[in-house]
Amino acid sequence: IWIIVIALCILLVLAVRQIPVQYARRSVSGSGPSGVYSKRQYIPLRLNASGVMPIIFAQAIMFVPSWIGGLGLFKDTQIGQWIVIQFSDIFGLWYNILFGFLIVVFTYFYTAITVPTNKIADDLKRSGGFIPGIRPGTETSNLLDSIMSQITLPGSIFLALVAVFPAVVVKFMDVQAGWALFFGGTSLLIMVGVAIDTMQQVNSYLLNKHYDGLMKAGRDRKPAI
């Protein structure tokens, strides 16, 4: 189970949807077509563009139901007591149902404000790029927005499942609460994200050092006579 969850976290961090893009460049010679197309490139749209922020936002307001249940209107009533009991238990069923729902909602919200599809489409148009079969500008922006909405749904569900995983293992696998909270859910997602980011930075550093070494070797090499 832990291996499956770690694999899901890695998938959640690394998965992207590649949107093919072509860039037009002008022909240098006077003869021939006025523009030719370079090799195809891609716009990477992340499955989980919001990271762990939706979980943080959802956790920040999960105290509201139990607070409402303790207000004067519901205080000392059966409904109020039920609300307080159900939403004070972080491993409870209704707590995690609401928690998962809020994560899905906040994932869409945070993705909408952090992935500016209009700006991406405008930058693509100014640089002479286009998505094959799609007009630059508004149509490109609408397509990117539609694709982001489609891939955000499975991304948000994955994120919600990872977040409620500690409650599942505590209730059904007899795992201690402290262990489940520390090695599951948000903590595991953060650890996987940090590990992947560190590996990418190390890889980038090694590639730069290798490139610098090749450049130095080329400068030091004496020409053959």
Residue 45, SS3 per DSSP = strand
Residue with tokens 């949107």: 19
pLDDT value of residue 108? 93
Q: Which of 204, 218, 184, 207 is nearest to 8 (CA)?
A: 184
pLDDT value of residue 40? 65
Residue 35, SS3 per DSSP = strand
pTM of this structure: 0.80
CB atoms within 10 A of CB 174: 7
CB atoms within 10 A of CB 19: 19
Residue 121, SS3 per DSSP = helix
pLDDT value of residue 89? 87
Q: Which of 149, 122, 119 is nearest to 49 (CA)?
A: 149
Q: Which residues contact 50 (CB under 8 A, 6 or more apart)?
A: 106, 107, 110, 111, 114, 159
Torsions phi, psi for 192 (to 5 deg)? -65, -45
Q: Which residues pair with 41 in a beta bridge?
A: 21
pLDDT value of residue 1? 73
pLDDT value of residue 8? 78
Ordered mean pLDDT values, 10 residues apiece, the chain (225 residues): 79 88 64 50 89 90 87 78 87 92 94 90 88 90 92 91 87 79 76 83 80 60 52
pLDDT value of residue 148? 93
Residue 135, SS3 per DSSP = coil
